[in-house]
Amino acid sequence: MHYANAVENDGIDDVNELNQAIAAPEQVGLQDQEDVDMEDVQNIGPPMQIDLRRKVTLFLLKLRELHKVPGTVCSFVASELVNILQMSKAKVHSELDAALLEDGVNRDAIATAMAVIQSTELEDIFHSLEDNRKLSGYVQSEFPYVEPIEFVLGVDIKGKCESTQYIPILKTVELLLQNEDIFAEVVQGHMSEDGKLRDFCDGAFFRENVLFASDSSSLQVELYYDDFNIVNPLGNKVKNYKLVAFYFVLGNLSPQYRSKLHVLQLALLCKSKHLKKYGFKKVLQPLINDLAVLEKDGVCVNKNGHEHHFRGTVSFVSADNLGAHSLGGFNESFNGLRISRFCMATRQELDECLTVESCEMRTRESYNAQVTMVSEDRTLATAYGVKTDCVLNELEYFHVTRGLPSDIAHDLFEGLVPEVLQNLVLYFVSEDYFSLDHFNTRIESFSYGKTDRVNKPTRMASTVADFRVKQTAMQCWCMLRLFPILIGDKVPEHNPQ
């Protein structure tokens, strides 16, 4: 579990609580002595219990992990806050000293009062955490942190170790289930009561999975696989900075609770070139071993003295088309004979297959048979569209033919949707309902909501010959939803388009 997740799971109001405590001096009991009677004294409760070190740690951790403030800047902030607290203390010391002397308080009483504010706990805490290494050390020891494990894959020609970093998924799941809200979501479930399809747990693949069908509270591990560059290198240096990451999220959580980026848990990280060199089987073996344990033995969580046992498996793996084909053992070229990971249709037949019923779908049995034949004769890989077995098929309750869903970001919002929108706009322009300039004006002047504002479409070409709908996936999704509102008043009511 990385630091950002620890921050989010610990509650977002911790700093607010600290501010409220500081801004409420009446709770400390500083009142005029003549206003205090015995009844007031008897009603004074115990001192406020606040874990200031935890509050300060969360404050600095949120700066670093959520707001992406560099560690050196966090150290600077902590150091400056120490200086500010010291100056504030000196100012209070001076003003309090003068006020007490003016009221005739003797020097001994003043010295006693000054000793109380001589050293503040908050100042000491900021001072102890201003070093970035000390902050990380405290988080690792006191927060729900799962330490990554390095697995050596091999050595390069220079004798340097090539490795992968794995965050044990079993330990992460156990910590997640310690959270009361997550535990309740897993136990209660969120299957549709009216039979409508709203989530994976409402579909046929969920019902046909032996483990999920026997226990609806079984843990649904949704994996996410992607490559990314940590910098912007040029030339042949790109491969040195490209990483492969496997994340996961529990599908037992309702969609509204797992749709945030911070909910994703990192499971494995390695260099992309190491994955290509050693293959999925070797890189993913630590993850596969733990998932096999999760299927067979599960994890135990103690709640109020009762042991709760949960088994689980991978429900599906989200990835882009290239990544899904690579992980699934399918051909990575989309110009071959069979290019689909879902069916056996050839590239030419796909232009005519408009429904699932018209295609021969891939099955567990056919896939396994084809893998066996391809292993004996590599030339058959082109005919079947399969190169090798998927490493995840080692799991008992998962198979690749049911576990690699479509990549809607590329297939729809960067593929089909822009094409449809482009043809619709050009048709309406040809019918003289509006001009491309007017369409662009509508896009730019439309009052977008808060969530759509960051994904609003950009201006496109004003000539028919150059007009193309080239937007990001989220911009196309935004345009598709708002398209009727953008130009609906310009299109005749009974237009068939």
Tens digits of per-residue pLDDT, 361-390? 999 999 999 999 999 999 999 889 999 999
More confident residue, 12 or 224: 224
* Two structure tokens written together for 352: 């005519």
> Could you tell me if residue 269 is inside a domain?
yes
User: Which letter, b or e, does each residue of 359-396 get, where b requires 16 or more Cβ atoms within 10 Å of its Cβ?
Assistant: beebeeeebeebbeebeeeeeebebbbbbbbbbbbebe
What secondary structure does DSSP assign to 238-270, as a single string? GGGGEEEEEEEEETTS-HHHH-SGGG-EEEEEE
> What is the rounded average pLDDT for all residues in the chain?
85
> Could you tell me if residue 496 is inside a domain?
no
> Could you tell me if residue 359 is inside a domain?
no
CA distance 219 to 312: 4
- In this structure, are residues 343 and 362 in contact, taking their beta carbons and an 8 Å threshold? yes
Residue 301 and residue 154 in one domain: yes
Residue 415 and residue 478 in one domain: yes
Highest mean pLDDT among 73-82, 190-199, 475-484: 475-484
The mean pLDDT of 85-97, rounded to a whole number, is 78
Q: Which residue among 142, 175, 198 closes a domain?
A: 142
Closest by CA position to 99, among listed 110, 84, 111: 110
Give the strand pairing for 312-318 and 219-229. Answer: parallel
The mean pLDDT of 196-211, rounded to a whole number, is 93
Closest by CA position to 251, among listed 297, 204, 320, 313: 313
Longest dimension (CA), the chain: 101
pLDDT reading at 444 higher than 90: yes
Residue 133 and residue 187 in one domain: no
Residue 50 and residue 135 in one domain: yes
Residue 156 and residue 86 in one domain: no
> Could you tell me if residue 138 is inside a domain?
yes
What secondary structure does DSSP assign to 312-324, as a single string? EEEEEEE--HHHH
Q: Which residue among 142, 159, 182 closes a domain?
A: 142
Cα 445–chain centre separation: 33
Residue 133 and residue 164 in one domain: no
Q: What's residue 68's pLDDT?
A: 87
Residue with tokens 């576990």: 403
- In this structure, are residues 473 and 414 in contact, taking their beta carbons and an 8 Å threshold? yes
- In this structure, are residues 147 and 140 in contact, taking their beta carbons and an 8 Å threshold? yes
Residue 260 and residue 126 in one domain: no
> Could you tell me if residue 374 is inside a domain?
no
Taking only the tens place, the pLDDT of each residue in 117-129 is 565 678 888 888 8
The contacts of residue 114 (CB under 8 Å, 6+ apart) are: 93, 96, 97
pLDDT reading at 81 higher than 50: yes
Residue with tokens 């150091």: 79
> Could you tell me if residue 216 is inside a domain?
yes
Structural domain tally of the chain? Answer: 3
CA distance 278 to 154: 8
Percent of the chain residues past pLDDT 70, beyond the cut:
86
Residue type, 54: R
> Could you tell me if residue 353 is inside a domain?
no
Percent of the chain that is helix, strand, coil (3-state, to 5): 55, 10, 35
3-class secondary structure, 225:
strand
> Could you tell me if residue 291 is inside a domain?
yes
Residue 482 and residue 462 in one domain: yes
Q: For the CA atoms of the chain, what is the radius of gyration?
A: 30
Residue 192 and residue 265 in one domain: yes
Q: What's residue 136's pLDDT?
A: 87
Among the ranges given (10-14, 393-397, 488-492), the one the predictor scored with the smallest mean pLDDT: 10-14
Q: What's residue 98's pLDDT?
A: 77
- In this structure, are residues 126 and 80 in contact, taking their beta carbons and an 8 Å threshold? no
Q: What's residue 261's pLDDT?
A: 84
Residue 185 and residue 323 in one domain: yes
CA distance 16 to 12: 8
CA distance 217 to 311: 8
Give the strand pairing for 149-155 and 299-303. Answer: unpaired
CA distance 57 to 131: 12
Taking only the tens place, the pLDDT of each residue in 274-306 is 999 999 999 999 999 999 999 999 999 998 889
The contacts of residue 316 (CB under 8 Å, 6+ apart) are: 200, 205, 222, 223, 402, 403, 404, 405
Q: What's residue 142's pLDDT?
A: 86
The mean pLDDT of 99-124, rounded to a whole number, is 69
How many CB atoms lie under 10 A from the CB of residue 253?
20
- Report DSSP state, residue 387: -
Q: What's residue 20's pLDDT?
A: 37
pLDDT reading at 262 higher than 90: no
How many CB atoms lie under 10 A from the CB of residue 66?
14
pLDDT reading at 223 higher than 80: yes
Give the pLDDT band of residue 95 (cuts 50, 70, 90). Answer: confident
Residue 181 and residue 222 in one domain: yes
Taking only the tens place, the pLDDT of each residue in 27-41 is 333 333 344 444 444
Q: What's residue 266's pLDDT?
A: 95
Give the strand pairing for 306-310 and 312-318. Answer: unpaired
Residue 265 and residue 309 in one domain: yes
The mean pLDDT of 108-112, rounded to a whole number, is 67
How many CB atoms lie under 10 A from the CB of residue 223?
24
List the alpha helices (DSSP H) in 48-106: 52-61, 71-102
How many CB atoms lie under 10 A from the CB of residue 124?
14
The mean pLDDT of 429-443, rounded to a whole number, is 95
The mean pLDDT of 47-64, rounded to a whole number, is 83
pLDDT reading at 399 higher than 90: yes
CA distance 265 to 2: 7
Closest by CA position to 313, among listed 386, 225, 402, 227: 402
The mean pLDDT of 413-423, rounded to a whole number, is 94
**Angle, alpha carbons 208-212-216 (nearest 5°):** 125
CA distance 288 to 164: 14
Structural domain including 110 reads 3-32+46-142
Q: Which residue among 306, 329, 352 closes a domain?
A: 329
